Structure 1
Amino acid sequence: MKQLVEGFIQQLQHATEIGEKATVNFAPKKYSNIVIAGMGGSGIGGNLIQAYVSDKIEMPLVVNKGYDIPAFVGPDTLFIASSFSGNTEETLSGIREALAKGATLACVTSGGEVLRLSKENNFPHIIIPGDSEQPRACLGYSVVEMLYLLHYAGVLNVTFKTELAQTIALLEEQQSSMKVEASALANAFKGKLPILYAGVQFEPIAVRFQQQINENSKQLSHVNTFPEMNHNEIVGWLHPEPLFEMITVLYIRSAYDHERIRLRMDVSKKIFESKAGKVLEVQAQGSTFLEQAFSLIHIFDWVTVYLAELNNVSPNTIENINYVKGELAKV
């Protein structure tokens, strides 16, 4: 896992090359809505794209994480399925339903049944490298190729390409300082319950961080967003009191946060400081959304690798996930 995190910049570069060289043809069409289907790392990639395009496209885009797809899916839907292995059962179920409803399908995968269906039905698709045994470390491939599919479908303009290039340059420039920041955060999380708070637009980054803490560091974490948490969770900071000293709160801040969200975070911080063991902050770097999102993702991936070392666990193993899959396969 450490080598995969180290190679994240190269992954983004390679993903861009794949996207540029992809031979993808969409029939000219005006879509009414977009659905991205995926689970785990592929699913969170969809959420990241959803946040990125929220102010760039005029049609609704939803992320589907389950077996069934929304009732509105039909001939005017662009349905993008992302599955690293190509055998994710929930995503395959969605593909078959979307196909039956006449949607335009496109896929990102390394192989498996998704690739077979794509070739059999002539879906536009982009193939990503499948040699990694850690799909969650391949977020760069899934996000970048989905951006290219949206572009080739005529939904997204070319601006994202410039932002990707700027993102890669930023990561190259700040790699060393990111590792230092990540090491400090890992030490702050050791033996604690990390509670991650972000503005709503950066929820995918916070959830991704939580997932990586779970899978890489074998540790529990919790996520919520502003302003929503101000309408419910904030009241819960009364009990259980013995837990509070075990909590490290991390604020994930961005220049993209709405001014009222920044104010809410400032006001709420006083409550957390009076309760939690520690309250820390991290500020997203860069001027564009992709720069800020990917820089945070890279820092947080390093945190989880360092935290795995502190927890004396392997960041590669996912025994409980394999157990669940094995039991499901028996039915």
Structure 2
Amino acid sequence: MAKQVSNKQVILKHYVTGYLKESDMVFKNTTIKLDDQKGSNAVILKNLYLSCDSYMRSRMRKLEGSYVESFTPGSPITGYGVAKVLGSGNSNFQKGELVWGMTGWEEYSIVTKATDQTLFKIHDKDVPLSYYTGILGMPGITAYAGFYELCSPKKGETVFVSGASGVVGQLVGQFAKMIGCYVVGSAGSKEKVDLLKSKFGFDEAFNYKEEQDLDAALKRCFPDGIDIYFENVGGKMLDAVLLNMKLHGHIAACGMLSQNNLEQTEGVHNLSCLITKRIRMEGFIVFDYFHLYPKYLEMIIPLIKAGNIVYVEDIAEGLESAPSALVGLFSGRNIGKQVVRVSRE
């Protein structure tokens, strides 16, 4: 007889307008049967870690024509996480295996359409499992693909990274330093700015909240202009960067964090610079680059084990802390990659 256990879930209460609040999410206690799922293609997961990512905010509104679907009010939030397989009717996944991929914000999840592009097996367990929510998961391949595939970096180029203390930004900065670039990052607190320079090896960094004139701040850091901009913020920062790009510069548009909670997004007024400076600006979605994941692991795991790359996490304990942790992303409360530990198993 299948074992039935309680299953706490984080539910989206309603579609969200304006800034995300903890009260937009509620907890629900349900039950789930833990069986082997024979006769199905489903996988039962025990969630160990959940990833808090800024893109999740956009899924809390009614989306049309987006690359992802809206969350469903009244149902559990979903996102990337690390989990253990408890039961499987899917021949690709076996009981006891560890995986990372899309799962629910709950203690246990049933994934009905698991594929090798939605759940990735974890083979190397000599690094912390939580790393598979960040440096070894979706954000890591985001940084790798966006920087190397879109920016075509060369030694000696100047690189600016906004939102630089987040997992994607901290990795892009270190990748750029490895090939001999001059790297500057922006962040939202003195602590984060100090972290960029002292821990991640950025040549310079500034607190965008303390700068009265972003254009002047960028000219101070890049007197000869910017070759590569890794875009995580959008809005006023993008406007200022366009004025400071070099001829034939590259911009990889990864995210627009400053716009996620706005009902009316900010306009960008300096787009003519794309023409006059012949700038290549390209947006990208990580799903298009998952085929590079094995190649990325070959590069990054030896660097981690040799201590040649630095990675910082901010781990919140317990599923109960998940709403607060997610909301904190948008005020910059986290230091490093925001993770929620659901279970210590």
Q: Structure 2 length normalisation: TM-score? A: 0.30
Which structure has the highest helix share of the two?
1
Q: Structure 1 length normalisation: TM-score? A: 0.31
